[in-house]
Chain A
Amino acid sequence: MAAPIAFSAPTIAQNYQPRIPTIDELPEGVGREEVFYTCTACHGLDVIKAQHKDEAGWDEIVDYMITVQGLFPPTPEDRARIVSYLAANFPPLPAAPGYTNPFLR
């Protein structure tokens, strides 16, 4: 059963506008501006902060954004700053102790 409010104010309920992120929502550091202006042209910061990757992993994400999602390719210098910033601030999660996968690189 739907809550009445879902249909009592449809014009507002149906109209979603994401909020505009601000740069101070990202940790300070070299590459913060490049990340902010490159990434938030399209999407919010939550999806960035939810990923946990090393430099190779973040580099793969940049490739995905360029080849699949239409990101205008950053310069090599910007790309390096973006990747190192993201890997420094949103690194892989620590592995659970007690078991090491011998095949992980």
Chain B
Amino acid sequence: MSLSEMNSAESMNEAAASRLDELAAIEVGRRGFLKGASLAALGVAAGVGLPRAASAQAPAAPPAAAAPAAPAPFNFPGKDPGLVSLGDNPLNVETPAAMLDDDTTPASKFFIRTHGINPEMPADPDAWQIVIDGEVDNPLTITLGELKSRYENVTYRMVLECAGNWRSFFVPAASGNQWTTGGVGCAEWTGVRLRDVLNDARPKASAIYTAHYAADRHLSGEADRQALSRGVPIAKAMDEYSLIVWAMNGEPLPSINGGPVRLLYPGFPGSASEKWIQRIQLREVVHDGSGMTGLSYKLPINPVVPGTPAADIDPATFAIIENMPVKSLITSPAHGTTISGNRIELRGAAWDGEDEVASVDVSIDGGVTWQPVDLQAPRNKYDWRRWTASVEVPAPGYYEVRSRATDSNGRSQSIVPTNWNPSGYGGNSIRQVAVLVTA
């Protein structure tokens, strides 16, 4: 590397370091948290490096001094250490299937999907402002406190799922965070209907799409760049289950999951449900913000050969995802469990996007035979359906147990990953847990 190139690289790193120091200074100044919290409480495993805030205090930490990063339990206040981190910057964390065994996913087990630099929880969440503007006759600025008091409060249990959930099963490997099956959860969300608020802003007939702007910043720190700015068709925004939410399972929405206030569009890719929402603009065109262009959050209309470079694909042959596919998981027993007896007692969940789960079947012989499970009714549309099954095994030994959900249109989970695309969206192939049965 030439000197000028090195300088260029260094100046980028300096810019990043400066941004980190700025953030650290804010933290130390506002909260003095270095006095009150151990490194472990800050989510840092010993020996794998210093947190950004600590770097302000110890800027000379030599790069070569740290030991190689070792797998460590996920360490984040309020989150279960059994969660699995896919990456710490941006932070993305998934939930092992056996930790989705609660009927309602606790906040402590709920997955984390972030794109940028996350905002802080404000001292007064109710003062958080949301702007409604664009193709409306009556632009609004409303605080969270006003939202809570002015509009009907509703609570629904609904699935929120990352569009990239199941990505890691694509062959060849697709680009992005390698989610297995844990980019999903089903919580009770409390908020107001987005349509109630939009109607007060009096949308014009020209409004066909929403554009969301949130408080997270792009990883580069550049102010004019959005970490994520997605939108949905106006019909989805006006759906009775499309909400602005501030509570999860009856508690304030944790910041890392979008608190104090986020959008919730069940059935759509999770990215549309923007966290830390500050502005909802109605547009006369399909939104073109970050995450809306190129092949982002789109699936092939014309199926592509697996491995095709994104640059060789015309985005016009892809369509924006507006419906997540039907899926199921076995949440008990956990993968790798040894049990005794002649039956395997199964628990699980099945969910769908805009359609409804009609049935779930399980197989212990690779799909040679299937048997139906007992399905619980959903509480409301977009809730998942919990299920149980008791499967008799013919002999002690090794079994792979598979579940397969089918929706109200007769569509099932795919038997293998299919409809390959460069970013690995839309996967819903049948999964399995391995169980050893002893006499």
Contacts and interface: CB of A to CB of B under 8 A. Distances in A.
A13 B77 contact: yes
Q: Is the interface of B mostly helix, strand, loop or mixed?
A: loop
Interface residues of B, number: 85
A22 B5 CA distance: 20
Interface residues of A, number: 61
Interface in B24-50: 24, 27, 31, 33, 36-37, 41-44, 48-50
B172 interface: yes
Contacts of A11: 31, 33, 121
Q: Which of A16, A22, A24 has the most CB of B within 10 A?
A: A16
A16 B63 CA distance: 22
Given A15-B27, A15-B120, A42-B220, A24 B66 contact: yes
A64 B64 contact: no
Contact of A50 (B44, B49, B86, B250): B86
A4 to B, nearest CB: 9
B326 to A, nearest CB: 25
Contacts of B106: 1-3
Interface string B110-154: 000000001011000000000000000000000000000000000
B10 interface: yes
Interface string A38-50: 1011111011001
A60 B178 contact: no
27 contacts: A1-B250, A2-B254, A3-B78, A3-B107, A6-B108, A12-B31, A12-B37, A13-B256, A16-B91, A17-B23, A17-B24, A17-B27, A17-B42, A17-B52, A19-B48, A19-B49, A21-B89, A34-B9, A37-B13, A40-B13, A44-B89, A46-B85, A47-B92, A50-B178, A69-B220, A72-B8, A78-B5
Interface of B: 1-2, 5, 8-10, 12-13, 15-16, 20, 23-24, 27, 31, 33, 36-37, 41-44, 48-53, 55, 61, 63-66, 68-69, 76-80, 85-92, 104, 106-108, 118, 120-121, 171-173, 175, 177-178, 218-220, 222, 225, 248-252, 254-256, 259, 290, 293-294, 305-307, 309-311
